Structure 1
Amino acid sequence: MRLGIIGGGANSEHEVSLASADSIASTAAANHDIIHLTIGRAGHWTTDRGDALAVDAAVRILRTCDVVFPALHGVNGEDGMAAALLTAIGVPYIGSDIGAGAIGMDKWVTKLIASELGIATAPGTLVRAGERPTATLPELPVVVKPVAAGSSHGVSFVDSAAEVDAAVIAAFEHDDRVLIEEAVMGREVDIAVLERSDGSLTVSPTLEIDLGGDDVFGTERKYGGTARFVVPANVSPATRAELESCARRLFRALGCRGIARFDFFVTDTRLVLNEVNTMPGFTAESQVPRMFGAMGMPYADLIDALIETAMARR
């Protein structure tokens, strides 16, 4: 296959996306012809050699590819933007389409859909730009976060009402809508779903994030090399079955394609959905490849499975 890979992106997850794209490219090069393009922080395109590309030139290159892996995390990419571009130019691509990408990136809308499915989410309130938090805040402590941002950028754990305004202002740096959610005290356990070329779904083993006493799995813990991942998570068979059922139902209800990761809190009494990632981090050491690796699917095979699914959709 001639595999196009897009990394970078005009957002706060630029560096994470570069790492995903580089890892995919170096691994897939053994079996495929790689075309590697990058979107800069300001939205400009370059080749893997750093040569500047006009958008129309980038489109012409992408149209020569059999399939494209848009390894873009966050807004202006994962949120349906990359899918819209690739759909418009008629190139098969890996991952969710426009609608699922947009919905999955919107934590508020995701909460509403999860609620309709009977899947619990943290009680919360939405604050829009120009508004101040109302008196009807969730019970403290709370987590304040942008509605559409990833990698924990702009997320704050707040245990004092006096700190809420400052946390909201910090979150507004990443989005014009902010969620204030009641903090859920539980273990953070993730699970992923892979769509096969025949449309069937394969669910990964669970993965637990050992926070080491921290309240929030923040950006520094995610990418500073100090996070500890436990695969499979030490959960009961009943909890594992419930996680798998929730993940399958969310994948279908949101209209996800290819791959998606679902992050939950496991408390003493229930599961609580934290968020959905329709284009999760994708280096060889990222959570999703670790999960599928634990069930005997090497990283290169996972990439090829996604390519096969994207080609089958064509």
Structure 2
Amino acid sequence: MKAAQRVTVLMGGASAERDVSLSSGQGVVAALKESGYDVSSLDVTRDLAALVNTLGEQKPDVVFNALHGRFGEDGAIQGVLEWLGLPYTHSGIRASATAMDKEASRQVFIAAGLPVAQGRVVSIAELAEADPLPAPYVVKPLDEGSSVGVSIVRDGTNQRARVVEEWRYGPVALVEEYIPGREITVGVLDTGDEGLRALTVTDITPNTSSGHDFYDYAAKYSAGGSQHILPASINADDFAEACDLAVSAHKALGCAGASRSDFRYDDTAGKGRGRIVLLEVNTQPGMTPTSLLPEQAAYCGISYSALCDRLVQDALERASASRR
């Protein structure tokens, strides 16, 4: 018998990551039912009144937030749930909003002494006129996830003009130096009694034969789009550093439940230590069949169902602590 019988799983949403969220949510619903919870699902739309009314009808003891992107992981839905007095999984308002804003999170990481790429925010008008950094460099929306809208501008191409022409993410963008090498990622889980645990390091290799120039949206969520190697075969000291940095980034933002930190790892010199650069922290890691956090948890002996159950219990523990 569970301490909380009724769980509502929020999924869908209106962001560019709606399909990913639906896949995450469906997996979570099945897992929580398997664990003995009374589970309801709620496909979130832009209708806030309908959301509040449905939550009032379902009367959940706890909400599992499986939303991604805007409204789901930017502090907005967290604010609604706080106002309703409902315990919910993953990070709170401040950590969610800060992590979703790439420039705000960069400043937090810099203040905490964590390694980030050189970069700055530029207007799209400025980007249209000239390269803001020496090529190659990366252009990112400030507040999208899952690599939505991310492009690499390389020397000798017309990619900058295409980025400007197709840009639909607001008047500004974050541009950062391109870090050669590989992308690695580390999941962090609040295990309860044992505290924060860095699960392992995964080496992510996009399938370039399928047209993936980097770990973009399609590489993340298409079957065969990328290869996940865990544990990553990297320098042992770099492996330990990546784990430590992920925990430090989780703490610096004030995350809760689980997070996943993405890094670039430049070991192109071929010998000794590499350079690890923190890209971002995901406060709502994907829970799809190809997602990295469940894969890392499974490697550590934590089943998908146990992972979902742990996140629910973490939400209840934090809610209980806040009432004391």
TM-score computed with the length of structure 1 as normaliser: 0.90
State the shift of 1:118 in Å: 2.3
1:6 alignment partner in structure 2: 10
In structure 2, C-alpha distance between the alignment counterparts of 1:183 and 1:163, rounded to whole Å: 14
In structure 1, C-alpha distance between the alignment counterparts of 2:285 and 2:304, rounded to whole Å: 14
1:147 alignment partner in structure 2: 142
| Contact map agreement 1:127 1:133 (CA 8 A) in 2 | no
1:298 alignment partner in structure 2: 303
1:184 alignment partner in structure 2: 179
SS of residue paired to 2:26: helix
Q: Deviations over 1:153-198 (max 9, x none)?
A: 111111147532431443x413443111111111111001111334
In structure 2, C-alpha distance between the alignment counterparts of 1:175 and 1:95, rounded to whole Å: 27
| 5+ long unaligned stretches in structure 1 | 46-52
State the shift of 1:132 in Å: 4.2
2:284 alignment partner in structure 1: 279
1:261 alignment partner in structure 2: 260
SS of residue paired to 1:253: helix
Letter in 1 for 2:57: I
1:59 alignment partner in structure 2: 55
Q: Deviations over 1:72-106 (max 9, x none)?
A: 11111111111111111000000000000011111
Letter in 1 for 2:83: A
2:42 alignment partner in structure 1: 37
| Contact map agreement 1:145 1:168 (CA 8 A) in 2 | no
| Contact map agreement 1:188 1:264 (CA 8 A) in 2 | yes
**How many residues matched?**
303
In structure 2, C-alpha distance between the alignment counterparts of 1:246 and 1:216, rounded to whole Å: 23
State the shift of 1:137 in Å: 1.8
2:82 alignment partner in structure 1: 87
Does 2:26 match 1:17? no
| 5+ long unaligned stretches in structure 2 | 268-273, 320-324
| Contact map agreement 1:103 1:109 (CA 8 A) in 2 | yes
| Contact map agreement 1:153 1:219 (CA 8 A) in 2 | yes
In structure 2, C-alpha distance between the alignment counterparts of 1:87 and 1:218, rounded to whole Å: 33
State the shift of 1:233 in Å: 0.9
State the shift of 1:54 in Å: 2.4
- Trace 1:194-233 onto structure 2 (pairs within 5 A): 194-198=189-193, 200-213=195-208, 214-226=212-224, 227-233=226-232
Mean Cα displacement is larger for which, 161-170 or 287-296? 161-170
| Contact map agreement 1:17 1:73 (CA 8 A) in 2 | yes
SS of residue paired to 1:93: coil
1:50 alignment partner in structure 2: none
Match of 1:311 among 313, 316, 320: 316
| Contact map agreement 1:128 1:177 (CA 8 A) in 2 | yes
| Contact map agreement 1:8 1:15 (CA 8 A) in 2 | yes
TM-score computed with the length of structure 2 as normaliser: 0.88
SS of residue paired to 2:107: helix
In structure 1, C-alpha distance between the alignment counterparts of 2:297 and 2:172, rounded to whole Å: 34
Letter in 1 for 2:162: A
2:271 alignment partner in structure 1: none
1:166 alignment partner in structure 2: 162
Q: Percent identity?
A: 33
Q: Deviations over 1:188-212 (max 9, x none)?
A: 1100111133471011111111124
CA root-mean-square deviation: 2.0
Does 2:31 match 1:27? yes
2:72 alignment partner in structure 1: 77
In structure 2, C-alpha distance between the alignment counterparts of 1:237 and 1:136, rounded to whole Å: 37
State the shift of 1:135 in Å: 5.4
In structure 1, C-alpha distance between the alignment counterparts of 2:294 and 2:285, rounded to whole Å: 10
| Contact map agreement 1:196 1:202 (CA 8 A) in 2 | yes
In structure 2, C-alpha distance between the alignment counterparts of 1:56 and 1:210, rounded to whole Å: 41
Mean Cα displacement is larger for which, 31-40 or 108-117? 108-117
State the shift of 1:26 in Å: 1.1
Q: 1:138 to 1:131 in 2, by over 3 A?
A: closer
Letter in 2 for 1:275: E
In structure 2, C-alpha distance between the alignment counterparts of 1:203 and 1:148, rounded to whole Å: 25
